[in-house]
A and B are shown apart, each in its own frame.
Chain A
Amino acid sequence: MNLSRARHSLAPWARIATLAVCALLTLGPVIWTVSTSLRVPAESFDLPPKIIPTDPTVESYRGVFDQIDVWLLALNSTLVTALIAVGQMITAGLAGYAFARLEFRFKKPLFGLVLATMMVPLQVTIVPVFLVLKSMGLTDTLLGLIIPAFPTAFGTFLMRQYFLGMPKDLGEAAMLDGCGPWRIFRSVYAPLAAPGLAIVGVLAFNYHWNEFFRPLILETSGQNYTLPLGLVSLQGNLGTGSISVVLAGVVLSMIPAVVVFVVGQRPLREGITSAGVNR
C-alpha cells in the first residue's frame, strides 16, 4: 500500500523535524515518568530533569512488589480485561453484523438505543447498577465487573461500519448458491471480520485495564482488587508515599497495555481505517 500520495509545500526535512518535535512532546511526560521511576526519590524533582538517570536504581520497583501483591492484582486485571475484551468482540461482532447486514423490525431505534448508551456518564448509574448486581449476587466478584461491560456501544458501531464496508455482492452470490443467513455470516463475512474485531478487543483492553471507578465501587474484598486499585496503596497515607514508587507502579501497570498496543497496532489501524470512512 503506497501511502505517500500528498505532495506538501513544506520541505520534507522540515516536516519530519516538526513531526519529531511533536512526537517528543507527546512522549515527554511518559519518558519523564519512566526515568523518574528509575531514580532515587531525592532526585525526582531535579531541574533540569535527569532524563537518563546517572545512577539508575530498580529500588522503587522492588518497593512496589514489597508493598502490594502485584501478581494477584495483575491476575485479576488480566482476567477482567481479557474476558471483557473477548466478550465485547463477540457481542459487538454479532450485533454489528445484525445492524449492518440483516433486516428486522425496529432496527433504527434499536441502533439508536445502543449508541445512546455512550452518552450516559458512569457516575449517574453506578448506584442502580450496584443494586442490579446485588440482586444477581454478583457484587464483590470479578464477574460483576465483567458482565455489565459486555455490551459495547462504540464496538457495535465500529463493527457495523466494518461489515457495511464489505462488498455486499459476496453475500448476494452466496445467497444465490442457496446459503441461508447463518451460512452467509459464518462462511462469507465472519472470516473477514478479524481486523475489526481486533480493534474492538484492543480498545476494550485499553479502557478496562485502566478502569478505576467501577472496581472501586463494586469490589470490596482485597483479593478482588484490580491493578489500578492496588496501586492506590502506594500513594501512602495522605499522599506520603514515595513518588518514585508511585511512578514505578504506573510504569508496571502500563506494560501490558503497551504490549497489547504494539501487537495489535496493525489490525487496529486497518480496523479504524474502514470504520472511519464508510458511513
Chain B
Amino acid sequence: MTNTRIPDVRPKQPTAARSAPVAAPRPSARDRGTRLLATLFLAPTIVGIVVFTVVPIVGSVVLSLFHWNVIDSPSFAGAANYREVFGDSTVLVSFRNTLVFMVFAVALQLLIALVLALAVNGRMPVWLRSVFRSAFFFPLVLSAASISVVMKYLFNQDFGVVNWLLGLVGFAPVPWLTSENAAMATVILVYVWQQFGFSFLLFVGGLNNIPKEIHEAASLDGATGLRKHLTITLPLLSPTLLVASVVGIINALQVFEQPYVLTNGGPGDSTRTVVMVIYESAFEQLRFGEASAVGVLLFVLIMAVTALQFRLSRRFVHYQ
C-alpha cells in the first residue's frame, strides 16, 4: 500500500477543483461529463437518504409539534411538547446521563485503544500480533443485546463471575448493577469493552502510516518512551484521533442496548439515556409527539457536539 499514501490531503482543499481546470483540454464538455457522473454516482445514496431518512426526520419534526398517541388522530400542540420536555426531570437527567456516558465512554475507549495499539505495534512475533489484534477486535462482531444478557449475569452482585474474581483477591462484592453510583460505571465498562476494538483498529492503521524516519530521527535526538509518544506520535496520530472521537461520540450519544438490557435505566434514573427516554415515551407511553421532540433535541445536540469537534480540531489536529 506504500504507493497509495498521500500525506497532505486535507479536507478543506477539494483536490479535483485545483487540478481539473489545469489539465483539461475541453473544459466544458469534461465538466458536463463530470457532473453527469457525479449525479449518477450520488443518486443511489442521496435518493435513499431522502426517502428513508430525510422524509422520516421531517415527519418527526412535524410530529414534535403535535400530540399523537398513534390511536387517535394527531392534534396540534405548538411548542407544548418542547415545554413539557424541558420541564420533565427524567428527560433532563437523561441528557445529563448521556453526556456523562459520552465523556467517559469515549475517553476510556480512546485511551485503551491507543495504549493497546502502541503496545501491539512494539516488537513481537508476527503471529502473536495477529492474535492480539483479532482478540481486541472480536467483541465488535457480537450483538450488543445478547452480550449484554451475558454481562448481566457476569456482573451480578451475588453470583457473578466478576465479584467472585474480585473476592479471590480480597475485595468485597460490588453492587455493579444495583447501586446508583456503580451502575453507570458498569454500563460504560460493558460498552467500552465492546467498542474499543474499532478505535484500536483505527490507531493500528494510523501508526502504520507514520513514516519510520520520524521515529528514528526522534530517537537520535534522545527522545524515548512516553515522551516520544507524547511529543511525536500523538500529534502525528491526531487526524486518526479526530475520526475515532467523532464516530465514537456520535455512537455514544445514541447508546441504548446496554443500559436497556443491563439496568433498564435504573436504579432510579441513574442509567437512563436519551434514546431510552425516546423509546419509552413513544412505544410505552404512547407520547409520540414528546418522543419526537426529544429526538429533535438529541439530533441538534449531536450536530452541535460534532461541529464543535471539527472547530477544535483545527487547532489540535496536525496533518503531516
Direct contact between the two chains A and B in their complex (CB within 8 A):
yes
Interface residue ranges, A against B (CB under 8 Å): 1-10, 12, 15-16, 18-19, 22-23, 26-27, 29-30, 32-33, 45, 47-49, 90-92, 94-95, 97-98, 100-105, 107, 110, 113-114, 116-121, 123-125, 127-129, 131-132, 147-148, 150-152, 154, 156, 164-168, 172, 175-176, 178, 180-182, 185, 192, 195, 206, 209-210, 212, 228, 231, 243, 246-247, 250, 253-254, 257-258, 260-262, 265, 268-270, 272-279
In the complex, what residues of B have CB within 8 A of residue A5's CB?
A: 121, 210, 212, 215
Contact indicator A182/B49 (Cβ below 8 Å): no
Complex interface bits, B61-89 against A, C-beta within 8 A gives 1, otherwise 0: 00100000010000000000000000000
B108 within 8 A of A: no
* A270 and B208 alpha carbons, distance in the complex (Å): 10
**Given A167-B6, A206-B140, does the pair A119, B250 have CB atoms closer than 8 Å?**
yes
Leading 9 A-B pairs by shortest Cβ distance: A273-B205, A9-B225, A124-B295, A210-B143, A128-B56, A151-B48, A125-B56, A128-B59, A94-B41
In the complex, what residues of B have CB within 8 A of residue A23's CB?
A: 131-132, 135-136
User: Which residue of chain A lies nearest to B48 when distances are taken between CB atoms in the complex?
Assistant: A151
* A232 and B56 alpha carbons, distance in the complex (Å): 28
Query: Can you list 18 residue pairs at the A/B interface with Cβ under 8 Å?
Result: A5-B212, A6-B228, A6-B233, A9-B225, A30-B139, A98-B41, A119-B254, A119-B306, A164-B15, A166-B6, A181-B30, A181-B34, A250-B143, A253-B143, A273-B209, A275-B205, A276-B205, A276-B206
B159 within 8 A of A: yes
In the complex, what residues of B have CB within 8 A of residue A98's CB?
A: 37-38, 41-42
Contact indicator A151/B52 (Cβ below 8 Å): yes
Give the number of chain B interface residues (Cβ < 8 Å).
128
In the complex, what residues of A have CB within 8 A of residue B299's CB?
A: 119-121, 124
User: Which residue of chain A lies nearest to B291 when distances are taken between CB atoms in the complex?
Assistant: A124
- Pick the most buried of A118, A269, A277: most chain B CB atoms within 10 A of its CB: A277
B141 within 8 A of A: yes
User: Which residue of chain B lies nearest to A175 when distances are taken between CB atoms in the complex?
Assistant: B23
Contact indicator A167/B4 (Cβ below 8 Å): yes
* A35 and B226 alpha carbons, distance in the complex (Å): 40
CB distance from B281 to the nearest CB of A (A): 10
Contact indicator B161/A32 (Cβ below 8 Å): yes
CB distance from A202 to the nearest CB of B (A): 9
**Given A121-B278, A125-B53, does the pair A228, B143 have CB atoms closer than 8 Å?**
yes
9-residue interface stretch from B99-107, B146-154, B175-183:
B146-154
Interface residue ranges, B against A (CB under 8 Å): 1-7, 9-11, 14-17, 19-20, 23-25, 30-31, 33-35, 37-42, 44-46, 48-49, 51-57, 59-60, 63, 70, 116, 118-124, 128-129, 131-147, 149-151, 153-154, 159, 161, 164, 193, 197, 201-210, 212, 215, 219, 224-226, 228-229, 233, 239-240, 242-244, 247, 250, 253-254, 256, 275, 278-279, 282, 288, 291-292, 295-296, 298-299, 302-303, 306, 317, 319
User: Which residue of chain A lies nearest to B62 when distances are taken between CB atoms in the complex?
Assistant: A128
Main SS of chain A's interface residues?
Answer: helix
CB distance from B177 to the nearest CB of A (A): 15
Contact indicator B16/A132 (Cβ below 8 Å): no
* A272 and B243 alpha carbons, distance in the complex (Å): 11
* A9 and B225 alpha carbons, distance in the complex (Å): 5
CB distance from B255 to the nearest CB of A (A): 10
* A16 and B123 alpha carbons, distance in the complex (Å): 9
Contact indicator B243/A15 (Cβ below 8 Å): no
In the complex, what residues of B have CB within 8 A of residue A47's CB?
A: 159, 161, 164
In the complex, what residues of B have CB within 8 A of residue A18's CB?
A: 119
